[in-house]
Structure 1
Amino acid sequence: MKVVSVVLLSILALANAGPTLQNIHFADSFQQSLSPQEYHVKLAAPDTELSVEDHVVEYFNSLDRQERSFIGDVIKNALEGFRDVVINGNDDVPVLDPFVIDHMGPFLFTATGVRGEANIRNFRVEGLRWFLVDHVTFNALRLTLGLQVTVPWITTTGSYDARASIAFLTHNAGGNFRVFVNRLVVGVDVRLGANIFGGGQLFLRELDIKIDIHDTHISMDGMFGSSLLNSLISSMVQSITQDVIQSQLETVSQTLSEELFDAINDFLKDFTLADISG
């Protein structure tokens, strides 16, 4: 069941894809309301790729129904088994829950009459270990795989310090923050193909990633220093989901999709149709 390795490779690539956000610019006005955000990225291989769908149908028709459904069950069990890696890590993947970064930044920000920078310290993310595998589907005849994973909640905590120039004066401020994400859903749809001149060698035809954030709550406490700068930062934080996540997460999703697309295709070059059936 080496197709399971493809899914695990995707998970490992996602776990090691650390965000490198720099020079974040906030809009002049900050929206206070919050609504669910959804991002959708789809990549497709060139239509010129050679495929053998007819051979695929013939090949998998030779398998019985139990063998075909067993593939999806193995993939689901492999995802469930990844929970131990999330909690304890391994030689390739660090502990993901809790996930801790001592320092991030500096991040640059601008607003009307304001230019400054901020650093984030003691960044901590918890809740990933409670992920649920909603469903896994595998169509052996069409070589398609679909899965959906839901993380019921994620909590991010940390502290910040900021320095900004406002009205020709320098202001310093700092405090703690907490971000609560309610229901993060990640869906992935994969379609494979096979090269007729490669003995049925597999390649990735399509990778479709969908991320849905149901709701997010951001709070700040223990702020000190400039009340003016703290008020500005508080307003910017309340708009992060609407402004930053909407622009940055879409970029991150696009980059991640491209990296996974190429990485999975590179991984599949040593596998054929026979490897899927074990």
Structure 2
Amino acid sequence: MKIACVVFLVACVYAHGAVRYPAREDNEPLQLRILPTQIHTTTVGVQNTADDELLASELALLNNQQRNLIEDQIANLLEGFRDVVINGNENIPPLDPVELQQIGPFSYSSNGIRVTGYINDLHADGLRWYIVDEVTFNALRLALGVRVTLPWLRVNGSYDANARILLLRHDAGGNFRVFVNRVEVSVDLRVGTNILAGHLVLRELDIKIDIHDTLIQIDGLVGSPVLNNIISGLVQSITQAVIQNELEKVSQMLSEQLFDTINEVLKDYTIADILG
């Protein structure tokens, strides 16, 4: 869903310069293939305390069976989350598939041109097929590591856009498809303890995302030839650097939100709860 929004927003940002691109046939699909992309972001909270060091020394005494038990419990928790992804719960709506009737409006104006658009009937699926590759626990660093692979992710829908160029109004619309092939996500987090209550607290969150291949396609453009040429030219002009920059912003936002969310969950647990 984020990638679909990025496509439209990037088109809006450069709309004033896109009229230089040659016209296209109305039924000719636009395709953009993005090369492998890597995203890395780290969010750091309060640093280690003396209590953290004491806890680490105690956990270092755990035998291999106890450490494996912690890793197994985390892996089982992640596998159990698959039912939430499919069916949702009282706090989280179903995540696969995701269906939204409308997103927007998105708008941009510059040099006498104002472009506004909506994404309609968005459908995204594939999240349920994630694979938990590895779970690790480092007692000395109070660190947990999770490696997950998403074999594929598919997003499709339609859009409507209109532009006001000087005194003239132009309208267009069409369909889009985004296919992401193999996403590998590594999440490493370092925990500590709350001095007052002994509850767990997140110290550091490190997220790395590898996207192997992405195909964006827009077809069925109808309406204003001027606006169609703007959209088609700009989709073709999107560079790897632009996509990388936008995904870095999304990654940082995701990291900050997850940092707060994980801390909210951890505040109800102590290390004894995990070991038990």
- Residue 92 of structure 2 corresponds to which residue in structure 1? 93
Matched, 1:213 2:211: yes
Q: Distance in 2 between matches of 1:110 and 1:89?
A: 39
Shift of 1:90: 2.1
Q: Distance in 2 between matches of 1:71 and 1:26?
A: 48
Shift of 1:49: 4.0
Q: Distance in 1 between matches of 2:244 and 2:112?
A: 24
- Residue 13 of structure 1 corresponds to which residue in structure 2? none
Secondary structure of the 1:90 match is coil
Secondary structure of the 1:162 match is strand
Deviations 1:67-118 (A, max 9, x none): 2111111211221222222222222221211100100111114577743111
Q: Distance in 2 between matches of 1:238 and 1:112?
A: 22
Pick which of 114-123 and 232-241 moved more: 232-241
Aligned residues: 259
- Residue 189 of structure 1 corresponds to which residue in structure 2? 188
Residues 241 and 105 of structure 1: CA distance in aligned 2, closer, same or farther (over 3 Å): farther
- Residue 7 of structure 1 corresponds to which residue in structure 2? none
Please give the residue correspondences for 1:46-65 in structure 2 after superposition, counting only pairs within 5 Å: 46-47=46-47, 49-61=49-61, 63-65=62-64
Residues 265 and 220 of structure 1: CA distance in aligned 2, closer, same or farther (over 3 Å): closer
- Residue 71 of structure 2 corresponds to which residue in structure 1? 72
Normalised by the size of structure 2, how large is the TM-score? 0.80
Code of the residue aligned with 1:26 in structure 2: it is: V
Using the aligned pairs only, state the percent identity: 52
- Residue 247 of structure 2 corresponds to which residue in structure 1? 249
Code of the residue aligned with 1:79 in structure 2: it is: L
Matched, 1:142 2:141: yes
Shift of 1:257: 2.0
Q: Distance in 2 between matches of 1:77 and 1:136?
A: 10
Q: Distance in 2 between matches of 1:229 and 1:142?
A: 55
Q: Please, what is the CA RMSD of the aligned residues?
A: 3.1
- Residue 26 of structure 2 corresponds to which residue in structure 1? none
Shift of 1:147: 0.8
Shift of 1:201: 3.5
Residues 59 and 225 of structure 1: CA distance in aligned 2, closer, same or farther (over 3 Å): closer
Residues 275 and 234 of structure 1: CA distance in aligned 2, closer, same or farther (over 3 Å): same
- Residue 272 of structure 2 corresponds to which residue in structure 1? 274
Secondary structure of the 1:97 match is coil
- Residue 13 of structure 2 corresponds to which residue in structure 1? 26
Q: Distance in 2 between matches of 1:65 and 1:224?
A: 63
Contact 1:116 1:163 in 2 (8 A): yes
Q: Distance in 1 between matches of 2:74 and 2:148?
A: 12
Q: Distance in 1 between matches of 2:208 and 2:254?
A: 12
Which consecutive residues of structure 2, in runs of 5 or more, have no partner in the other structure? 22-31
Q: Distance in 1 between matches of 2:239 and 2:124?
A: 17
Code of the residue aligned with 1:142 in structure 2: it is: R
Q: Distance in 1 between matches of 2:78 and 2:143?
A: 17
Shift of 1:228: 2.5
Residues 20 and 234 of structure 1: CA distance in aligned 2, closer, same or farther (over 3 Å): closer
Contact 1:159 1:176 in 2 (8 A): yes
Code of the residue aligned with 1:205 in structure 2: it is: R
Code of the residue aligned with 2:135 in structure 1: it is: V
Normalised by the size of structure 1, how large is the TM-score? 0.80
- Residue 12 of structure 1 corresponds to which residue in structure 2? none
Which consecutive residues of structure 1, in runs of 5 or more, have no partner in the other structure? 1-16
Q: Distance in 1 between matches of 2:159 and 2:5?
A: 17
Deviations 1:33-79 (A, max 9, x none): 63222222112223374443244223441x33212111111211221
Contact 1:26 1:236 in 2 (8 A): no
Residues 262 and 56 of structure 1: CA distance in aligned 2, closer, same or farther (over 3 Å): same
Please give the residue correspondences for 1:100-119 in structure 2 after superposition, counting only pairs within 5 Å: 100-109=99-108, 114-119=113-118
Contact 1:216 1:241 in 2 (8 A): no
- Residue 160 of structure 1 corresponds to which residue in structure 2? 159
Secondary structure of the 2:35 match is coil
Residues 77 and 144 of structure 1: CA distance in aligned 2, closer, same or farther (over 3 Å): same
Matched, 1:202 2:200: yes
